[in-house]
Amino acid sequence: MPRGPRLDSPGTLHHVIIRGIEKREIVSDDKDRGIFVSRMGSVALKTGTNIYAWALMTNHAHILLKSGQPGS
């Protein structure tokens, strides 16, 4: 059963966890890691999101971020 929408007020700190299905890999090599980090940075810039910390493992990632203002 899917989860309901989460509260996202501008300026709220979030601990985001991304995990591969059945603990499968989400990145497998340095090229994948580079793409992941590059896309994370691009999305943060486009949305006005501040990323304070992140950890990327082969099968999951943790991101500490503060959401941007709506329409950023």
Sign of CA dihedral 35, 5, 1, 16: positive
Q: Which long-range contacts (CB under 8 A, 24 or more apart) does 3-11 make?
A: 8/67, 9/67, 10/67, 10/68, 10/69, 10/70, 11/66, 11/67
Residue 12: per-residue pLDDT: 84
Count structural domains, the chain.
1
In this structure, is residue 42 part of a structural domain?
A: yes
In this structure, is residue 28 part of a structural domain?
A: yes
- Mean pLDDT, rounded, of the chain: 90
In this structure, is residue 7 part of a structural domain?
A: no
In this structure, is residue 1 part of a structural domain?
A: no
**Residue 15 burial (10 A CB sphere; 0-12, 13-18, 19+):** exposed
Range of the domain at 61: 13-66
Residue 28: per-residue pLDDT: 95
In this structure, is residue 2 part of a structural domain?
A: no
- The pLDDT tens digits for 5-49 are 777 777 789 999 999 999 999 999 999 999 999 999 999 999 899
Provide the pLDDT confidence category of residue 70 given band limits of 50, 70 and 90.
Answer: low
CA distance 10 to 42: 19
